[in-house]
Structure 1
């Protein structure tokens, strides 16, 4: 005997999932109306790309392009529509949104699926704080659409009627771990691994001797901070260290941190936003650093999209955000697993 659920296509299992799938459809329709009312153009970014993304811990699916004469070249399924969307902004679009199917390898669990929907939108010429307002509006809209008073996940709840708390990463490290994070970041963005290690050790966190500053930072974030976010009301975690914001521009007031925020509800990360970096030289440097780290950790690297770097030179100041649509549907409908809100879950040949 097994306790595993029946395949999603079994009639009884589909009947259990049907209310959540219906909620998915209603939320998507409501969001489309919301974006349309604000002058956004819905676009459809191409899925096949030269690079799936150049962040060290994002993993793409590779495929082969084959010409009529048999010549081959590698392409990737995108992990985000970001690179194509930025080219559209460079081309002259100003407000765009994409309900994009995206693909991420090495990801599967209650909150992760290898194929999912990312709602990504961009506002050219607008500050990234506007995206914070967008997030609050969309949380309320999702609950209004499902008729629920709160977002919920496991034993946590979050009232979308409450204005989200805005908490800097530095404040979060101090509040939840007793760590002065920015004391370990210089004005150039360089990081002090030993300084952070000493503080993390004093806070009772365990890590390996070969862990980098970024590794230790991530452990503090995952173990001490993220579970505390979005309790009672949503949290906007903002002003990430520049080393943890490869695609975001530095804040003018403090070059140690970048214009990046993440939206949390019920301890779940829902969205990731940037004041977009548009300096192609700096973006290349960051991509190369990310790929060096990917090579160190995973033994592989992805190519850099040269057309993206060329487009950045034409791109106006822009703010952009990506929201995990299935996660929002889960929290607004009461679903417990991401596959409850995916119409046809991807096969798992490694199960």
Structure 2
């Protein structure tokens, strides 16, 4: 008798069932905290201003035959901030997002992003809420990639300055913009054409990230101001931005900001990012999101976070690859 072929979907049914349970758990968590679930357009005229993300492009053809260039969004952030400015409500979304030219065991070109915004919250309050979400959706101990992490213990909160002092031996904020000084303190040689930002990420990936979030999750906070993105600067030390990323069992799970509400400063940052992006690829040009910039003036003090839902399922199941926890998934 010929052996029956393995079915790739039924082989993955257990982690996919767990995924479905976690979706219900996430919605229950936010419903219980007074959040409103929203849905924003996936095809947008402005996919973001990130320097290194590559969007998928499409065309909308109207009934009159006119065409509009659109992109599949890389995050619902811009649209959700417009909704927050209009409503003042706590908002969350489980969104499908797309990022071109990505694919690995922990990256996918199409994946699910859990994003939420809380008016009145600061970075510390958002960390508290993120801890509560992980405890509500994950077992007390999770294991992935050979690292076991205790979710039922207080998460570590480590500033970027502390992390570089501990694991790199460098005074990070004092060296910002000076690649030679950072290389000297870190005891490394600059590569050809390597600037401060390139070296910063090289050291972050090689020396800091392998050491954090191994036994308990780690919030890596207060990033250098050049990496602020849409976060406001720390009033206590303007060299740092009120931003954190979350790591657990070797996985980067989330990126969060205490949100910038100054449209003039945000415009300047967008224009700077746009200039750098167009140096890499002149075709990656699209209109500024003027609706977002107008809304920022009405945005209440708030904090927001984007968390990779599929990676959360990896932690819950111990599955090795994103493709194992996505229906009909591909890396």
TM-score range, shorter chain: over 0.9
Match of 2:284 among 294, 297, 301: 301
Secondary structure of the residue aligned to 1:309 is helix
Match of 2:153 among 145, 157, 162: 162
Whether 1:213 aligns to 2:204 is no
Superposed displacement of residue 28, structure 1: 1.0
Whether 1:179 aligns to 2:165 is no
Partner of 2:262: 279
Q: Residue deviations 1:53-84, cap 9 Å, x none?
A: 11101111111122334332211111000000
Superposed displacement of residue 50, structure 1: 1.5
The answer on whether the counterparts of 1:166 and 1:238 sit within 8 Å (CA) in structure 2 is: yes
Partner of 1:45: 40
Superposed displacement of residue 207, structure 1: 4.3
Task: Please give the residue correspondences for 1:20-39 in structure 2 after superposition, counting only pairs within 5 Å.
Answer: 20-39=15-34
Whether 1:195 aligns to 2:181 is yes
Secondary structure of the residue aligned to 1:163 is coil
Superposed displacement of residue 16, structure 1: 2.1
Secondary structure of the residue aligned to 1:172 is helix
Secondary structure of the residue aligned to 1:74 is strand
Q: Residue deviations 1:120-162, cap 9 Å, x none?
A: 0000122121110112112212224xxxx41211111100001
Quote the Cα distance in structure 2 between the aligned partners of 1:39 and 1:227: 36
Quote the Cα distance in structure 2 between the aligned partners of 1:13 and 1:294: 39
The answer on whether the counterparts of 1:326 and 1:341 sit within 8 Å (CA) in structure 2 is: yes
When the two structures are superposed, what TM-score results if normalisation uses the length of structure 1?
0.89
The answer on whether the counterparts of 2:178 and 2:196 sit within 8 Å (CA) in structure 1 is: yes
Superposed displacement of residue 278, structure 1: 1.1
The answer on whether the counterparts of 2:42 and 2:72 sit within 8 Å (CA) in structure 1 is: yes
Quote the Cα distance in structure 2 between the aligned partners of 1:21 and 1:67: 38
Task: Please give the residue correspondences for 1:67-82 in structure 2 after superposition, counting only pairs within 5 Å.
Answer: 67-82=62-77
Q: Residue deviations 1:285-314, cap 9 Å, x none?
A: 111111122122344434321111111111
Partner of 2:11: 16
Q: Which segments of structure 1 move beyond 6 Å, counting only runs of 4 or more? A: none
Match of 2:217 among 221, 234, 247: 234
The answer on whether the counterparts of 2:278 and 2:285 sit within 8 Å (CA) in structure 1 is: no
RMSD: 1.5
Quote the Cα distance in structure 2 between the aligned partners of 1:168 and 1:229: 12
When the two structures are superposed, what TM-score results if normalisation uses the length of structure 2?
0.94
The answer on whether the counterparts of 1:51 and 1:302 sit within 8 Å (CA) in structure 2 is: no
Partner of 1:60: 55
Secondary structure of the residue aligned to 1:13 is coil
Partner of 2:143: 152
Q: Residue deviations 1:297-343, cap 9 Å, x none?
A: 34443432111111111111111000000000001111110011101
Q: Residue deviations 1:197-255, cap 9 Å, x none?
A: 3334x1x3x54231221111111111111111111100000000111121000011000
- Unmatched segments (≥5 aa) in structure 1: 1-9, 186-190
